[in-house]
Amino acid sequence: MNAFMAVLSPIFRIACASFALPARSPRMTRWLLLPLLTMAGPGNVLAAGSTRAAPYTLDIATPPVFARLSPLRQAAIGWSDDMRARFLHALPAADIQPPPHGGPWQLHLEYTPVIAAGGFSTLIGKGYSWTGGAHPVPFIKTLNYDSRRHRMFALADMFSQPEPAIAAICLEARRQLLARLQAPAGQTRLDSDPTMIEQGTRPGPHALDLFAPMGSAGKPARALRILFPSYAVAPYVAGPQQVDISPQVFARWLKPEYRNRFQGGRS
């Protein structure tokens, strides 16, 4: 990264002079070059910049996706750009004091690929933003690509009758989460309460936005993983939660073209 910046910094200063722009420090140069760096290749892009009174850092990972999955990569880049824009918009005005936690305002974003099963490819994006408050604000996102139909898809797209399918999945997710409240010795108990779990698993248009088909590469998916962000079904300290839903729960509502892509999907 340092060698790359050493090459680009003089070019950037020449461009500033050409357009009568003020010279920038290396820290600000890194921030202004972020859109270019984000597309440069794999790995993390670390950029820094500052307002007059509030320094900040941006740590945004390049999506680890092959070119043949370009729609998935473009969706990830689009989400990264959106999160970055929201973060910069939320930065305090110049007369606001530096962050109370002593460090810079921060945006961290990284991606984890899920093993392609059933012809599905998923990226899980997660991270946090810190623009004040007692702790960072976490976020999570799933981006799902159908490699056989060559398109991004939502959970409802797989079902001939989405409403009963989603209701059944929500019910099973609720059952598993409630069971964790009374986990036996040796297992991790969920630090939450029934009311919060019931509210977070109610069926609705966006109840199951975070999901990923799970399994072994080249084989039908063995489960549908549902993710719940912090605060959805448990307090912040408990962190995000996830449950794996057996295809038997929703198989009857799968569209014909999706039935052989889940284990037991033809039942």
Per-residue pLDDT of 84-121, as tens digits, reads: 999 888 876 544 555 655 567 889 999 999 988 999 99
Residue 1's closest CA among 37, 39, 48? 37
Domain 2-152 is found in CATH 3.30.365.10: no
Residues 124 and 241: their CA atoms lie apart, in Å, by 14
Beta-sheet strand order (sheet of 120-130): 44-50, 55-61, 105-117, 120-130, 137-146, 151-152
What single-letter DSSP state applies at residue 261? G
Residues 172 and 184: their CA atoms lie apart, in Å, by 20
CA 255 to chain CA mean position, Å: 27
- The domain limits of the chain are 2-152, 155-261
pLDDT at 59 over 70: yes
Query: Beta partners for 110?
Result: 126
pLDDT of residue 103: 63
Q: Tens of pLDDT along 131-178?
A: 777 788 899 999 999 999 999 999 999 999 999 999 999 999 999 999
Q: How confident is the model at residue 65 (pLDDT cuts 50, 70, 90)?
A: confident
Residue 1, number of CB atoms within 10 A of its CB: 13
Beta-sheet strand order (sheet of 241-245): 211-214, 223-228, 241-245
E strand intervals along the chain = 44-50, 55-61, 105-117, 120-130, 137-146, 151-152, 211-214, 223-228, 241-245
Mean pLDDT confidence for 168-192: 91
pLDDT at 216 over 50: yes
pLDDT of residue 262: 97
pLDDT at 219 over 90: yes
pLDDT of residue 93: 58
How would you classify the pairing of strands 55-61 and 105-117?
Answer: parallel
Comparing 37-51, 185-199, 224-238, the range with the smallest average pLDDT is 37-51
pLDDT at 27 over 70: no
Percent of the chain at pLDDT > 90 equals 54
CATH number, domain 155-261, options 3.40.50.80, 3.40.50.150, 3.90.640.20, 3.30.1300.30:
3.90.640.20
